[in-house]
Chains A and B, each alone.
Chain A
Amino acid sequence: MDALQLVNTHVKLLAFDFLTLKPIPYESTIFSRKGRRLSRAETVGMVVSRDFKPNRFIKFDIDDGTGCIPCILWLNHESSHRRCPSNVRLIAQMAADFASQIQLGVIGRVRGKISRYRGNLQITVSDVVIERDPNSQILHWLDCLRLARNCYDKVVVLPST
């Protein structure tokens, strides 16, 4: 077991780092970075493409200066029957709000599940924050560097029993 669990944590990764994550055979929702297991990621960057399909999805790319991360935000919740109707309405409304905020040139902070589509890594978006602070991108870079060095790159040594 990973003593310092990163699964289900939104791991802050630079795009060039994110795009080298490795899939783990037979575990479609888990990815590996230097042997550490990850399932969720957070990125901050400029929205450089936008493909909006009403009531289906919005696909967009986030460019953080080190690469572009493809993102998909599903908008088809109301045709899903997996949750109770009131929850579905809330989730659908939230997703529609996020979609309206995702415009070319905005700086978005995107969090979600790491996934793959046609062999390419992407983020299946769970939430979006549009950053107003022009320094947010810089601070995200520094966060990513600090976390990579002090946390994500650390080799976990389990105490001997």
Chain B
Amino acid sequence: MATIASGALVNLEELVPSSQQFKHGISLRVTGKLQDYDVETAVAVIVDRNASLKVDAQHLNINLRIGSIFQFIGELLLEPDNEAILKARVGRNMDGMDLNLYRQSLQRLRDFQAGR
């Protein structure tokens, strides 16, 4: 079995073209509330605070309910117009997740990793 790339934890607000993580093919883990889902194209849109991201969910077998919180792991694809879409490998419903605790803990985790 080939080694699987870990999805780097990222807040949607951090996914801007100047970011180190805004790269074609990079593996990411994103979290947000499902704002839209097109059944025909299997493209979902998640939002978190003032940022949003398109997610290609065609390989997932989960119930994508508008308004629920989801977490996806996959590869970021940059389209010709520099618009990003995450091609999700796995995803799950995270309703009940404390998003403030998540953001604070993520920052602590990053600080800890940087200190190693």
The residues of A with any CB-CB pair to B shorter than 8 Å are 14-17, 46-49, 51, 59, 61, 63-68, 70, 104-107, 120, 133-135, 138, 141-142, 145, 148
Q: Identify the stretch in B15-23, B42-50, B77-85, B97-105 within 8 Å (CB) of chain A at 4 or more residues.
A: B97-105
Number of interface residues of B (CB under 8 A): 32
Besides A105-B90, A141-B109, 15 more A-B contacts (Cβ < 8 Å) are A46-B71, A48-B4, A49-B1, A61-B4, A65-B7, A66-B109, A66-B113, A67-B6, A68-B5, A105-B60, A133-B96, A134-B95, A138-B101, A141-B105, A148-B112
Q: A70 vs B6: C-alpha distance in the bound complex, in angstroms? A: 11
CB contact between A15 and one of B6, B89, B90, B108 (< 8 Å): that residue: B6
Nearest CB on A from B25, distance (A): 16
Nearest CB on B from A115, distance (A): 16
Instruction: Write 6 A-B pairs (CB below 8 A) sorted by A numbering.
Output: A65-B9, A65-B109, A104-B90, A107-B92, A134-B95, A135-B101
Closest 6 CB pairs of A and B: A134-B97, A134-B94, A65-B9, A105-B90, A105-B92, A68-B6
- Inter-chain contact B113/A105, CB cutoff 8 Å: no
- Inter-chain contact A145/B1, CB cutoff 8 Å: no
Residues of A within 8 A of B60 (CB): 105
- Inter-chain contact B73/A46, CB cutoff 8 Å: yes
Residues of B within 8 A of A120 (CB): 3
Known A66-B6, A105-B91, A141-B105; contact A135-B97, beta-carbon cutoff 8 A:
yes
Tally A-B pairs: CB < 8 A.
81
Which DSSP category, helix, strand, loop or mixed, fits chain A's interface? mixed
Residues of A within 8 A of B5 (CB): 68
- Inter-chain contact A65/B92, CB cutoff 8 Å: no
Whether a CB of chain A sits under 8 angstroms from the CB of B39 is no
- Inter-chain contact B92/A106, CB cutoff 8 Å: yes
Nearest CB on A from B34, distance (A): 14
Nearest CB on B from A116, distance (A): 14
Per-position 1/0 for B40-64, Cβ under 8 A of A: 0000000000000000000010100
Known A48-B89, A105-B90, A142-B108; contact A63-B6, beta-carbon cutoff 8 A:
yes
Q: A17 vs B116: C-alpha distance in the bound complex, in angstroms? A: 9
Known A65-B6, A68-B6, A105-B92; contact A135-B98, beta-carbon cutoff 8 A:
yes
